[in-house]
Chains A and B, each alone.
Chain A
Amino acid sequence: MTIKVSGLSHTYNAGLAYETKAVADVSFDVADGEFIGIIGHTGSGKSTLIQHLNGILKPDSGQIWIDGIDITGKGVKMHEIRKRVGMSFQYPEYQLFEETVYRDIAFGPRNLGLSDAEIDERVREAMDAVNLDFGEMAERSPFDLSGGQKRRAAIAGVIAMRPGVLILDEPTAGLDPKSHADVLSMIRSVHERMGAIVMLVSHNMEDIAAMSDRVFVMDMGRLVCSGTPAEVFADAEYLRGIGLGLPPSTEMARMLGLAAGAIRDMDDLIDAISRMRKGRDL
Chain B
Amino acid sequence: MIRDITLGQYYPEYSIIHKLDPRLKLVVTLLYIASLFLIEDFYGYIIVAASIGGVLAASRVPLRFVVRGLKPIMLIIIFTFALNIFMTRGEVIWEYGWLHVTWEGLRMAFFMALRLILLIIGSSLLTLTTKPMKLTDGIESLLAPAKRLGLPTHELAMMMTIALRFIPTLLEETDKIMKAQQARGADFETGSIFRRAKALVPILIPLFVGAFRIAQDLAMAMEARCYRGGEGRTKLNALRMKRRDLAAAFACAGYLAGIIAERVLV
**Chain A residues in contact with chain B, CB under 8 A?**
15-18, 51, 54, 56, 78-79, 82-83, 86-87, 89, 92, 94-97, 107-108, 111-112, 143, 157-158, 161
Contact = CB atoms under 8 A, between A and B. Distances in A.
Contacts of B13: 17
B147 interface: no
B183 A18 contact: no
Contact of B184 (A51, A78, A94, A157): A157
A89 B62 CA distance: 33
B185 A108 contact: yes
Contact of B209 (A16, A54, A79, A143): A143
Given A107-B184, A112-B185, A157-B184, A94 B210 contact: yes
Given A89-B179, A95-B180, A111 B187 contact: yes
B180 A89 contact: yes
A199 to B, nearest CB: 14
A92 B209 CA distance: 14
B201 A111 contact: no
* Highest count of chain A CB atoms <10 Å: which of B65, B185, B201, B202: B185
Across chains A and B, which 10 residue pairs bring their CB atoms closest together, nearest first?
A: A111-B185, A95-B180, A97-B205, A108-B184, A87-B183, A97-B202, A56-B179, A82-B185, A89-B180, A97-B206
Given A17-B62, A18-B12, A89-B179, A79 B184 contact: no
B20 to A, nearest CB: 19
Interface string B173-210: 10011011111111100000000000001100110011
A82 B187 CA distance: 11
Nearest to B61: A17
Interface of B: 11-13, 62, 64-65, 173, 176-177, 179-187, 201-202, 205-206, 209-210
* Highest count of chain B CB atoms <10 Å: which of A54, A89, A96, A111: A111
14 contacts: A15-B62, A16-B62, A54-B183, A82-B182, A89-B183, A94-B180, A94-B209, A97-B202, A97-B205, A97-B206, A108-B184, A108-B185, A158-B184, A161-B184
A78 B181 CA distance: 13
A89 B183 CA distance: 9
Contact of B183 (A15, A17, A143, A158): A158
A41 B115 CA distance: 48
A146 to B, nearest CB: 15
Contacts of A112: 185
A56 B185 CA distance: 11
A157 B181 CA distance: 10
